[in-house]
Amino acid sequence: MKPMMKSMMKPTAGGSGIRLRSAMTVALLATCLVSSEALAQEAAAPGSVQDGGLALQEIVVTAQKRSENLQDVPISVAAFSAEQVRELGLSRPLDVGYQVPGLVAKSPNGDSSPLFTIRAVGVTDFTVGNNSPTSIYVDQVVKPYYPMVNFSLFDIERVEVLKGPQGTLYGRNNTGGAVKFVTRQPTDRPDGYVRVDYSRFNTYEVEAAVGGPVSDTLAVRAAGFTRQRSRGWQYNIVSGEDNGKIDRVAGRIAARWTPSDLFSATLTAYAGHNHSDVPQFKLAPPFKASNRSQVCAAALRGERARDGSCVDTLGHFDADPDNRHIQSANTLGKGLSEDGQGGVLTLNWELGIGTLASVSGYDQQGRTEYQDFDATTAILADNSFQQKIHAFSQELRFSSKDDSSVKWMTGLFYSDDKVDNRQVLRSDALFNSSTPLLTPIDWEMTTESYAGFAHVEFPLSPRFSAITGARYTHEERTFVGGTLPLHTRFPTVFVDNRTSANDVSGKVGLNFRVADDMLLYVSASKGFKSGGFNGGFATRAVAYNPYEPERLFAYELGIKSQPTSSLRLNAAAYYYDWREFQATVTRVDPLTNLPTQVLSNAGTARIAGLETEANWRAAPGLDLALSGNWSDPRIIQGIYEGRRLGNSPRFSLAGMVRYERPVAALNGSLYALTDFNYRSRYPLRLVTPTTRPLVYQDAFWLANARVGYKADHDRVEIAAFVKNVFDQEYLLEVFDQGTLNTLDLYAEPRTYGVSLTYRFF
């Protein structure tokens, strides 16, 4: 069995192997769904057990800004409860990416600026001034910039992943979807716990929370988290030191005041810091040693040569075959320092016909990061990043009662953001300079956004209902600054520019209640993401010209069903028309012959896909879950016509098996959990005519496992866990730098540890 599993886990390089594995994945998914349905029909036969420990727990979400059973929501949603977040070991937003097929989450700078792609809709730009097509919310407040999404997950109540445009329900623009993180709120009953984990690389996590009533009208809750790692998982052969140490600390306090049944106010304040190492790149040299103007044979095959036949633009190569050994020497500094704080004030008034809600949010964050973008000892592309971000948002909503036959919501949204950026590039070796060549990229960008939106769901008959919604958005951005070198090798480029956009978008849909346990829905919606400015290196002012907004027209047909109390089967087919989509491409500057990362409009893409989901309680204590996504993302118009979007595996699969059994002799129960996921071969970058095969990640499987004990009184839980059970090596990011280097960023290796949780009440 073990050799077979190793064979399954090994990435394949050939196309035939990938197609075979993809076909096996589809067959497995179909077989599981068919088998589950057949078993469900058998379970529903006369005289069979329908409950008695076989009923699935109802999942309540707030995807439509009201509490609803997940099966009644005509949107494709993936949801994770607090227990699942803990047992799956989700400690960062990035971790959600491997639990939801069709969602790819990665951090191109190592561990600081997470990017989310849903159903192939995303962007690979890592500059701080760009907004994501996927909106990230924490307690209803959007995190508008990538570094602000690098927070710790602790004391979490629920995570929801909403797929497709959500502009008629949510304040911020988005084309890809929304990911919501809902923290635990103060309750009227005492509640508290502490969790301590210890794992490989001398890593420990401590999470604790306590809360409850202070008076008849006031309840509070405080929570804290730290993750400390004293040994890194990368080894730097230049310095002789480990790289990958972690120092994360975060805290949150919330107070809920309820002076009457008609009014409540919740104030939440939070702060945290992350002073950690930054995972560094491994050099993947792309050029012939004999002629550095030509791509070497290994790189053309998508292979990493370590024998000197392939080199970088200066003739360097990395002879160490271990992908977790690096050669990094950044002369500007080392590590990552992030400090942030903010707050949320939520007010709710019950006004008879509906509820008026106000959500005010403020975030500020400072960030300093050092990254070696040449992965060698040469001073070719040593970088430092310093940013300050201020973000304020205000949302007002007036919505119907949850039990109204006509469900409606109308809202106003305003946001005001400011980003101060300073990046310093040092490139002495590029010009064989004996003095430091320092190039600061300094700019300030402000963004103001105004929006009004409405959403209505109304019955047409006992079984039919209709949805309609509309949104108006006005957004303005200003950009002041540019590339201001401290030498004469590059020209000074300074701009003072402004761009604005207006858009009307919306949604229409039809729901058909086929039976009490089956919902069929169809919808058409439009998403909008405004334009903006490139924030990187430039030698000409034209490089800082604004790019245009993108618009996405989404069409979806879905079914949600629960044929028995022990089985849920959901599926959706979707088609996206993504116009003037924004993408990061590498272009060679004609003045310096240097490659630069440029964010621009790249044409029109078509994305067709199908996703399925099955959850089955096969026996008392035994839960099975399997979900999959197939997509075909293609550019159909523009300079990259016929090419493929980045971060878009054709097939992705996620599954979980969990079994829990009471053991009277232990006064508790034992449980075992394994979760797994699969992705077919996919590019980590937009595929262009000059894209090298090195940017592809071959197909791979991941698996995690956990076993534990829970006491009957629910106070004590002890567990052991393993992440990345088979120690799979896979890429998080590849930087294809054209005439310079190709750089690989690998994910962490296998980790294992133990966990102890104690609940006070």
Token pair 């939440």 is found at: 268
Of the chain, the end-to-end C-alpha distance in Å amounts to 44
Q: Which comes out higher in pLDDT, residue 267 or 593?
A: 267
Among 82-91, 331-340, 638-647, 737-746, the range scoring the smallest mean pLDDT is 737-746
pLDDT tens string 574-630:
999 999 999 877 666 666 666 667 788 999 999 999 999 999 999 999 999 999 999
Judge whether residue 15 has pLDDT over 50: no
Cβ partners under 8 Å of residue 22, min gap 6? 650, 651, 680, 699
> Quick one: pLDDT at residue 589?
67
DSSP code, position 51: -
Domain assignments of the chain as residue spans, ordered by start: 2-45+66-281+328-759
Q: Over range 186-201, report the average pLDDT.
A: 96
Q: Over range 271-279, report the average pLDDT.
A: 94
pLDDT tens string 348-394:
999 989 999 999 999 999 999 999 989 999 999 999 999 999 999 99
Could you count the other beta carbons within 10 Å of the beta carbon of residue 375? 28
Judge whether residue 469 has pLDDT over 50: yes
Q: How far is the C-alpha of 344 from the C-alpha of 92, rounded, in Å?
A: 20
pTM to 2 decimal places: 0.90
8 A C-beta contact, residue 402 and residue 414: no
pLDDT tens string 511-547:
999 999 999 999 999 999 999 998 888 888 888 999 9
E strand or H helix at 300: helix 297-300
Residue 53 banded pLDDT, cuts 50, 70, 90: confident
pLDDT tens string 127-181:
888 888 899 999 999 999 988 998 999 999 999 999 999 988 888 888 999 999 9
The domain defined by 2-45+66-281+328-759 folds into: Maltoporin; Chain A (2.40.170)
DSSP code, position 40: H
8 A C-beta contact, residue 475 and residue 175: no
What is the four-CA torsion angle of 256, 261, 262, 265, rounded to 10 degrees? 0
8 A C-beta contact, residue 309 and residue 289: yes
Strand pairing of 77-81 and 68-69? unpaired
Q: How far is the C-alpha of 124 from the C-alpha of 644, rounded, in Å?
A: 13
Strand pairing of 682-683 and 696-697? antiparallel
Among 6-10, 273-277, 445-449, 735-739, the range scoring the smallest mean pLDDT is 6-10
pLDDT tens string 709-731:
999 988 999 999 999 999 999 99
Judge whether residue 250 has pLDDT over 80: yes
Judge whether residue 697 has pLDDT over 70: yes
How much of the chain exceeds pLDDT 70, in percent? Answer: 91
pLDDT tens string 315-343:
999 999 999 999 989 999 999 999 999 99
Beta-bridge partner residues of 579: 551
8 A C-beta contact, residue 723 and residue 704: yes
8 A C-beta contact, residue 203 and residue 753: yes
Q: Over range 271-276, report the average pLDDT.
A: 95
> Quick one: pLDDT at residue 23?
38
| Burial class of residue 242 in the structure, from the number of CB atoms within 10 Å of its CB (0-12 exposed, 13-18 middle, 19+ buried) | middle
Judge whether residue 107 has pLDDT over 90: no
Q: How far is the C-alpha of 538 from the C-alpha of 520, rounded, in Å?
A: 51
Judge whether residue 3 has pLDDT over 60: no
